[in-house]
């Protein structure tokens, strides 16, 4: 089955927008740099700089390849702030859920409230489709896990490295105006 081509742009609150990732040198380079720039955990390890950078490169390749293999039908978006690339969103949709596979921002765009805007938009999309929204939260992100809990997400699966959290839309969020009960 051929992958459907997406086009256009969706405006989000706060001057953000998302658009489909293009099969272009510029978008590929942006995503590669984004992934590498967010691996300060590796760079902080004890070791020679060249060696650590080679590990960052291997991690970027593994991440791109792994996501492609595991989530081959996922939609890949670039997040922009007033036309400037600031992040990426990888989403898989189908069956009974919408899943945020990956959401990353460039370092200068982190902790500015953009993540909640994107996640809120994904909650709206899941509600429109009448399915749950799932996201995996790494164990080293307790603030994100706490915030998601405040937004109605619950832990669905857990392991030492990460928790899978899900949000189920309410009848109101899905646009239901009446609930019918059998007589």
pLDDT in tens, 155-181: 999 999 899 999 999 877 777 655 555
Q: Tell me the mean pLDDT in the region 98-119.
A: 92
pLDDT: which is higher, 2 or 72: 72
- pTM surpassing 0.85? no
Instruction: Name all domains of the chain by residue range, CATH numbers in brackets.
Output: 10-167 (3.40.630.30)
How many Å apart are CA 11 and CA 33, to the nearest integer?
Answer: 24
Q: How far is CA 99 from CA 93, 119, 136, 144, 165, in A?
A: 6, 11, 9, 16, 10
Helix (H), strand (E), coil (C) string for the chain: CCCCCCCCCEECHHHEEEEECCCCHHHHHHHHHHHHHCCHHHHCCCCCHHHHHHHHHHHHHHHHHHHHHHCCCCEEEEEEECCEEEEEEEEEEECCEEEEEEEEECHHHCCCCHHHHHHHHHHHHHHHHCCEEEEEEECCCHHHHHHHHHCCCEEEEECCCEEEEEECCCCCCCCCCCCCCCC
pLDDT at position 1 is: 34
- The pLDDT value given to residue 3: 46
pLDDT digits (tens, 9 = 90+) for 27-73: 888 887 777 776 665 546 666 767 666 665 666 666 656 555 556 67
pLDDT of residue 2: 42
pLDDT of residue 86: 95
Question: 126: which 2 tokens?
Answer: 């899941």
pLDDT in tens, 142-158: 999 999 999 999 999 99
Residue range 6-27, pLDDT digits in tens: 567 889 999 999 999 888 888 8
């Amino acid at each position: 089955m051929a992958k459907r081509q997406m086009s256009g742009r969706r405006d989000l609150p706060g001057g953000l927008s998302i658009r489909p990732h293009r099969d272009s040198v510029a978008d590929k380079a942006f995503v590669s740099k984004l992934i590498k720039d967010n691996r300060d955990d590796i760079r902080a390890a004890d070791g020679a700089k060249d060696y650590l950078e080679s590990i960052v490169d291997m991690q970027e390749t593994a991440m791109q390849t792994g996501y492609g293999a595991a989530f081959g039908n996922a939609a890949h978006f670039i997040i922009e702030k007033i036309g400037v690339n600031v992040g990426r969103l990888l989403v898989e949709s189908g069956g009974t859920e919408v899943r945020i596979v990956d959401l990353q921002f460039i370092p200068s765009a982190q902790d500015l409230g953009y993540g909640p805007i994107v996640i809120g938009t994904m909650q709206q999309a899941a509600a429109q489709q009448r399915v749950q929204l799932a996201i995996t939260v790494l164990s080293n992100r307790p603030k994100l896990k706490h915030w998601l809990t405040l937004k109605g997400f619950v832990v669905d699966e857990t392991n030492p490295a990460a928790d899978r959290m899900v949000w189920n839309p309410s009848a109101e969020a899905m646009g239901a105006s009446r609930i019918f009960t059998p007589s």
